[in-house]
Amino acid sequence: MLRDLLRPKRRVHAHCDIPCGIYDPQQARIEAESCYKIIEKYNGSDDELLRARCIDIKEQRAELTKHHIDVLWHDYFKPEHLEKFPNLHEVCWKASKAASKVKQTSDIAAAQELLSLIDQIDGMWKATGGPEKTRLQAVAA
Amino acid sequence: MSTERGHRRPLSSFVLRGAALGAGLAAVAFARRWLDVVEVQGGSMAPTLLAGEWLIVESRTYTRRQPRVGEIVLAADPREPERELIKRVASLDPFARTLELRGDTPEASTDSRAFGSIPMQDVRWRVVGRYWPARRIGPIEALPG
């Protein structure tokens, strides 16, 4: 009774976007592979309708790639990882930019460059214990 | 037989008590303009403040001076203005009149690192104390800035 009387009606939020702590560069890699394949299809086709769809889908996938790269960069990597890999910021920055480039062009070399940068991020993720720390090792069915 | 309990009090006693009660209620009603109570939700201010705790906040201090680094304040979430955040002031920019907010558990806090700095004038309420749970009753001190 007294408790109800004293209970505040105003709620304030010590807010957190609930970081689930699950990270894997493969998420970015799969979207980037999609871009790569779509660019191949685009360049190998005369079908205007297919080519228009390719551009549309490629833009979506490139945006997703960029999002996944940014999440790794902003949320997964920590200052101690930067000490271990002083080029971490540069690689993530370049990868993010490469994703933008893939969004803009139909140049297969751009998609290749994006994949290679994601693989560099993957290397840093693995070397900092990412697979053990940020993926579930086993989930009971 | 007259007992202490049954003794009739003079009318003035009731008037005085009534006046005191009325003044008390008026004071509470008046104070509510700058004094309020809030419930904490979420864990980004742990271990200082835990989810479910009840706090006393006041809004007079910041009409007289700027917030200071280390104080725990309320501010509208820039990304969702109807949501009110509770965070600690991490830094101030007196020229731009902005400040940065941080949770006491930075790894589980969405704060100025995500939404940037916020205008000082948007921070009106300061946390002064906790009144629930009973075993954690007491003033909430600002950390030295």
CA distances from A111 to A20, A34, A38, A106, A124 (A): 29, 9, 10, 9, 20
Q: Which two tokens stand for residue B34?
A: 């700058």
In which domain, by residue range, is A109 found? 24-125
Q: Which residues in chain A come in under a pLDDT of 50? A: none
A21 touching chain B per CB within 8 A: no
Q: Which of A118, A15, A130 is nearest to A78 (CA)?
A: A130
Report the complex ipTM: 0.77
DSSP A76: I
Chain B contact set for A19 (CB, 8 A) = 107-108
Closest CB to B74 among A12, A17, A19: A12
- The pTM (predicted TM-score) of the whole model is 0.52
Topology adopted by domain B35-139: Umud Fragment, subunit A (2.10.109)
Candidates B28, B33, B37: best to mutate against A (most CBs of A within 10 A) is: B37
Is A137 among the domain residues? Answer: no
Per-residue model confidence as pLDDT tens digits over B57-105: 999 999 999 999 999 999 998 887 888 999 999 999 999 999 999 999 8
Structural domain count, chain A: 1
DSSP string, A53-69: HHHHHHHHHHHHHHHHH
Would you list the domain boundaries of chain B?
A: 35-139
CA distance B121 to A28: 41
